[in-house]
Amino acid sequence: MDGRLLQQGTGGRRIIVIATSIGAASSASMLNSANFVLYNSAQKIIWQSFDYPTNTLLSSHHLLAGQQLLSSISESDHSTGIFRLKMQSDGNLVQYPVDTSDITPYAYYASGIDGWGDNRTLNLDADGYLYLLNCTSYNMKNLTNGGYTTTETIYLMRIDAEYTTTMEDI
Ligand SMILES: *[C@@H]1O[C@H](CO)[C@@H](O)[C@H](O)[C@H]1NC(C)=O
Ligand SMILES: *[C@@H]1O[C@H](CO)[C@@H](O)[C@H](O)[C@H]1NC(C)=O
């Protein structure tokens, strides 16, 4: 394996290189958290899918400052659609159309807690609790209350192909 990882779009019509130049991977693992991880021969993680968010946040996955979720074109076509939800480095979580700059006139939604410190993260717990933490793990805002059943249920947060951001159980 040369360390290149390819992702194939629906109907085989689009192939995107999502990782290159990561060194030779000697093993790969799909973790229970749904993180897909490549290790080198020293068992060090050299690439993980959680570093490349798509349209979905899973529990134990954190959306880091500067990262964004991108909506898909549709339920069946996971190519990049028209919305993005960005964890800005100013601490605000904002939804914009794709291909705009990060400025207020383009925003559809904002968590409204910018300017109070940077490096916040968006986090989802196994019980559906969705919240923003600052870099010293202090809870800055609750987006859902959580406390939903975890029996045979996995929660995810997804930016929809259409207007809203939803939380579903699968
Ligand atoms: C995180 O928030 C808490 C409470 O507002 C604050 O005391 C702490 O300094 C913040 N951490 C950073 C790094 O800003
Ligand atoms: C969010 O909810 C938790 C648990 O109920 C609570 O401790 C925390 O203070 C809440 N955060 C904010 C910013 O209200």
State pLDDT tens for residues 41-76.
888 888 888 777 788 888 878 899 999 999 888 878
pLDDT digits over 78-133, tens only?
Answer: 788 889 999 998 889 999 999 899 998 999 888 887 666 678 899 999 888 999 99
Domain 56-169: CATH superfamily, name plus number:
Bulb-type lectin domain (2.90.10.10)
139 Cβ inside 6 Å of ligand 1: no
In whole angstroms, give the CA distance from residue 30 to residue 36. 4
Q: What is the largest CA-CA distance in the chain?
A: 48
Higher pLDDT, 166 or 26: 26
Q: What is the pTM of this model?
A: 0.75
Using the predicted structure, report yes or no on whether residue 19 has a pLDDT greater than 80. no
The residue whose C-alpha atom lies closest to atom 11 belonging to ligand 1 is 136
Q: What is the distance in angstroms between the CA of the first residue and the CA of the last residue of the chain? A: 33
Angle CA 137–86–29, to nearest 5: 70
- What distance in angstroms lies between residue 130's CA and the mean position of ligand 1's atoms? 19
Rounded to an integer, the average pLDDT of 124-148 is 90
116-152 burial: b if 16+ Cβ within 10 Å, else e:
eeeebbbbbbeebbbbbbbeeeeebbebbebebeeee
pLDDT of residue 4: 44
Domains of the chain, residue spans: 4-51, 56-169
